[in-house]
Chains A and B, each alone.
Chain A
Amino acid sequence: MERMTAFVLTLLGAALAVGLELLEAMAIVLAVGSTRRPRDAVIGAAGAVALLAVAVVVVGPLVLARLPLEPLQVVIGTALLLFGLEWLRKGVLRLAGARAPSSSLQEYLDEREAMEALPPPEPGRPDWPARIVAGKGVLLEGLEVVLIVAALGAGPEGLAPAVTGAAVAVVLVVALGAALHRPLARLPESHLKYAVGVVLSSFGVFFLGEGLGVDWPGGDAALLYLAATFVAAAQLQVVAVAARHAEAPA
């Protein structure tokens, strides 16, 4: 039961985090490809993927594999807390109406507008603005994917659930990309990002504790009450921020 909890939460956390990050990267690449030349958007994205492959090798076998378990858990726990609490903070602001909802469709439209403002590419010459914008989008979103999957993969269940979750996310995002627009508009991205914040923060506190020699009552099942505590704390914040936001003069 304990191991199943950790496995399922790792898989879910990885799938949601990777899916949402890929969705944002895809929105940028599609916006660049549809306003400029698709070939340049793909070249930019492919360049970023090559750099990410290097990052995977550096983060995985060269850094994480060489650290002893307990310091590794402290590093991973801290990294997950930095990512998770930031996702959760933004989630609270979005659900309280103090920040615009997360929308990859809106990101796609904004990026299209920005690209349309640039002078058109010259025929027969490389379109560097398109390559750089597409590459930067994929690189920044992908770097977060690499760090989150590596961090979750360092957990009690190893890489299997994190990589499976990431693979499920890739398949789903590619399927969404094929059927674009309406699925993107319907996706409750703000809620999903809030959920990722809860999962990553729970794993962050859990790993940090394990790395410092703390025994969590219930073992891996502690992830459940940690997640419940984060949901309760975040919901209280949503209510408080929403009340303030409603009081504020328009």
Chain B
Amino acid sequence: MRALRKLVLGETWTLPLGVLITLAIALATDAVAGDSAWWHRGGGFLLLALVLVAFAASLAPAWRRR
């Protein structure tokens, strides 16, 4: 089970949690602004920014001096 969890979620909880939060924000925004032109034109860049924040957060422990 540990190997399967590692396969699906990876070695850190931060990354799956970040992807989940990104997905939740994206779905909520789509529900609220799904018909808006700005979402169709610029929503992808919002998604990209959220994913990059999740990626940076997953590496935060490595920034701390050991």
Contact = CB atoms under 8 A, between A and B. Distances in A.
A240 B63 contact: yes
Contacts of B11: 86, 90
Interface in B1-25: 3-4, 7-12, 15-16, 18-19, 22-23
B23 A140 contact: no
Given A96-B62, A212-B43, A213-B39, A143 B7 contact: yes
A192 interface: no
A217 B52 CA distance: 19
B55 A85 contact: yes
The B contact surface, by secondary structure, is: helix
Interface stretch (A5-13, A50-58, A151-159, A201-209): A201-209
Contact of A144 (B7, B15, B19, B34): B7
Contacts of A237: 55-56, 59
Interface size class of B (residues with CB under 8 A): 35 or more
A125 B19 CA distance: 48
The A contact surface, by secondary structure, is: helix
Nearest to A238: B59
Given A82-B16, A229-B52, A213 B7 contact: no
B12 to A, nearest CB: 7
B65 A244 contact: yes
Contacts of B56: 233, 237
A90 to B, nearest CB: 8
Contacts of B10: 82, 86, 89
B13 to A, nearest CB: 12
Interface in B22-66: 22-23, 26-27, 30, 34, 39-41, 43-44, 47-48, 51-52, 54-56, 58-59, 62-66
A221 to B, nearest CB: 13
A26 to B, nearest CB: 18
A89 B58 contact: yes
Interface string A66-92: 000000001000100110011011101
Q: Which 5 A-B pairs have the closest CB atoms?
A: A86-B10, A209-B44, A214-B43, A214-B44, A248-B66
Interface of A: 74, 78, 81-82, 85-86, 88-90, 92-93, 96, 98, 136, 140, 143-144, 201, 204-206, 208-209, 212-217, 222, 226, 229, 233-234, 237, 240-241, 244-245, 247-249
Interface of B: 3-4, 7-12, 15-16, 18-19, 22-23, 26-27, 30, 34, 39-41, 43-44, 47-48, 51-52, 54-56, 58-59, 62-66
